[in-house]
Amino acid sequence: MTGSLEALLAPQSVAVIGASDEPGRIGGRPIHSMLSAGFAGRIYPVNPRRETAQGLHCYPDIASVPEPVDCVIVSVPASVAVEVIADCAKAGARSAIMFTSGFAETGASGSSAQQQIAGIARSSGMRIVGPNCLGIFNLEIGWFGTFANTLASCKLPCGPIGIITQSGAYGSHLFTITQNRGVGSTYWVTTGNECDVDVAEVISCYAAIDSIRVIVAYAEGIGDGERLRQAFADARAARKPVIFMKVGMTEAGARAAASHTASLAGSDSIYDGLFAQYGVWRAETTEEMADIAYAAQFDRYPTGNRISLQTISGGVGVQLADAASRRGFEVTPLPETTRAKMLEVIPFGGVNNPVDFTGQALNDRTILDRCMELTVEEGGYHSHIIYIASLAASPFTRDLSLSVFRQLRERYPDELFLMSMIAPEEIRRRYEEMGYPCFEDHSLAVRAMAALRHFKLVFERGAPRPAAKLPAGVLPVPGAMAGEQDAREFLASAGIPVVDGAQAATADAAVQAWRRIGGPVVLKIASPDIAHKTEIGGVLLDLDDEDAVCGGYATLLDRARAAAPDARISGVTVSRMVRGGIETVLGAVQDPVFGPVVMFGLGGIFVEVLRDVSFRVAPFGEDEARDMIDAIRGRAVLDGVRGAPPGDVDALARALSRLSVLAAANAATIDSIDVNPFLVLPEGAVAVDALIVPRRD
């Protein structure tokens, strides 16, 4: 079922090295848990100093275990760990789980030991989880490759959630919280230092397991960005929501992450970009992760934005309306005719949406029945949130509430209702069994509904159209000495529109260039040693006759020699003078984790002051580029403001997509591409200046 991780997630045979007779000890708890949970596979305790462990025969070493096992649990000290892992590989074990800590997280010597272990995994093909992890469990088959006391916090039957975390301690925290929240998990993996198996591979694997419908992941750092990207693509293809907490986004957090695992922190906004690209829901708190996973496990998603809000409290109605609008839902009023009918039932209530059926609902069940019936039958909503305060719990109304909502569910089995109620766990379970997700905080119910809508859109959109191929005849990457004109010609050859221009080594050449361009031009000093041309007066605008161009050439060379006597000067660039247009900035950089990523922002203060930029991992198509453009706060500028005409967003999106393809195709040779400014015109767009920094390795 799960490719190369099957031996880890669903082993038939397990060896426990350092097996203990004590259920409480690290070497004892896995055995104890499996025995209590009725693990059907074969368990081989390994311990030279014992005859038996917890009633099972003990073997002196892994070599003497009668079969090559699917998985070995290793909890020996770091000092002997490498040796033991080597023995396991020799004995033909298909996989191993290493609890042992004291490796990469502790510094240089630990890292090299971890390298050896990784080497064994590569050479032998034995898959390894850890080291410095809390292991794995699979409740479906009673498999406990962990010393976490899972069974103690296990309150629910197996559910559709698969959990994957790097941190072991946080992994068990998350499991406890989700259990308390009513989230039914079956699979749980902690990857620790990730010498072999990493979070990304487990996500891909979860995507392939039918019984997993929702993936909950936690990571502090990512080693292989491409694999993570593939994992997200797999999950999206399988239409499984991914709820991801990525931490270490602040400097303090990154410092803590580095000292906790040996992970690259990377740039947090690039993670935001990647998550947006693949429709991953980024959770900021554990509570949010649990809440969204909880809602998603019911496997019902809103097919549109129109939402109905039903409430027993007008005040809560107002809050629901606020929250729903802010989350992008349409709180559409009920049809006039429906409102009239409803007023007959609740003359003092609110019938506009929110529907406020008031405290009267406590006395008269027909009110709830009728309001819900009218709303569902005539409102044309895609989803509903129903707030009933303590109605479901109060001894006076408990039975009424239960029968009302049972009937509602029977009449409308496919309708999406989220409930907000104050009720003890056992009562909430009754409603959950009827297919009502329950939330104590009504505002958080709205957040969950927004997440469900988000996932629905992601599933519907599926994989965006791929990027167009590069045109034939793309020029070679300019070298370190390349000037503005080389950069522009390189971009142009890749199909990115650039301003018409030429480089001129003499005044005559400059004049010829101006003649060819046929209109006002800009002259800029051309020198690999002068980065900020304007600061030395190295730019002349709007020249449109022979004398001006000729004189301009001389002026620029004089200024350059005066300001930077040693600068190598290759003449000037002559470019068509472009008027108007919306100033934007396009960039491509090599991220240590994700490789080539593309940045987009509006010019000037938008980037410099507001840091209003969006990222995507390259390559990507024009649809993705459009999302990327829409992601910035200043987006409206492209629609034209202060009397300016709207910009050609299609041309902009095309350029971004082509830049992403170009950066991806030349990842090995280009360190960064900076297109600044890139002017978006009413029709078309042009790169006015560009800087390409080749990789120096």
Q: Which stretch binds its own copies (CB under 8 A): 194-202, 403-411, 440-448, 584-592?
A: 440-448
> Residue 486 in contact with residue 476, Cβ under 8 Å?
no
* Minimum CB distance to its own copies smaller for 336 or for 410: 336
Cβ contacts of residue 576 below 8 Å, gap of 6+?
499, 500, 501, 517, 519, 520, 521, 522
Letters for 328-367 (x = contact with its own copies by CB under 8 A, - = none) are ---x-x--------------x-x-x-x-x--x--------
Letters for 102-131 (x = contact with its own copies by CB under 8 A, - = none) are x--xx-------------------------
Asked if 596 interacts with its own copies (CB under 8 A), we say no
Binding its own copies (rule: CB under 8 A), the pick from 434, 610, 691, 693 is 610
Q: Which stretch binds its own copies (CB under 8 A): 98-106, 564-572, 669-677, 684-692?
A: 98-106
Q: Which stretch binds its own copies (CB under 8 A): 170-178, 194-202, 207-215, 499-507?
A: 170-178
Cβ contacts of residue 697 below 8 Å, gap of 6+?
none
CB of 327 to its own copies, least distance (A): 10
529-548 positions binding its own copies, by CB under 8 A: none
User: Residue for token digits 């050896």?
Assistant: 116
Residue 573 Cα to chain centre, angstroms: 43
Other beta carbons within 10 Å of 363: 10
d(CA 454, CA 265): 27
Q: Which stretch binds its own copies (CB under 8 A): 202-210, 437-445, 479-487, 646-654?
A: 437-445
638-667 positions binding its own copies, by CB under 8 A: 641-642
Binding its own copies (rule: CB under 8 A), the pick from 216, 492, 586, 637 is 637
CB of 358 to its own copies, least distance (A): 8
Asked if 176 interacts with its own copies (CB under 8 A), we say yes
Q: Kindly state the tokens that stand for 96.
A: 């191993």
Letters for 236-275 (x = contact with its own copies by CB under 8 A, - = none) are ---------x-xxxxxxx-xxx-xxx--------------
Strand partners, 679: 583, 686
CB of 14 to its own copies, least distance (A): 23
303-332 positions binding its own copies, by CB under 8 A: 312-322, 324-326, 331
Letters for 8-47 (x = contact with its own copies by CB under 8 A, - = none) are ----------------x-----------------------
d(CA 192, CA 588): 32
Which regions of 415-519 does DSSP assign to beta strands (E)? 417-420, 438-439, 501-504
d(CA 38, CA 151): 12
H helices present in 464-545, as ranges: 484-493, 507-517
Helix, strand, coil percent content, the chain, rounded in steps of 5: 40, 20, 40
CB of 233 to its own copies, least distance (A): 26
464-483 positions binding its own copies, by CB under 8 A: none
Q: Kindly state the tokens that stand for 634.
A: 């200043």
Other beta carbons within 10 Å of 82: 19
Binding its own copies (rule: CB under 8 A), the pick from 441, 542, 546, 558 is 441
Cβ contacts of residue 106 below 8 Å, gap of 6+?
none
CB of 330 to its own copies, least distance (A): 8
Q: Kindly state the tokens that stand for 73.
A: 């649990």
> Residue 277 in contact with residue 624, Cβ under 8 Å?
yes
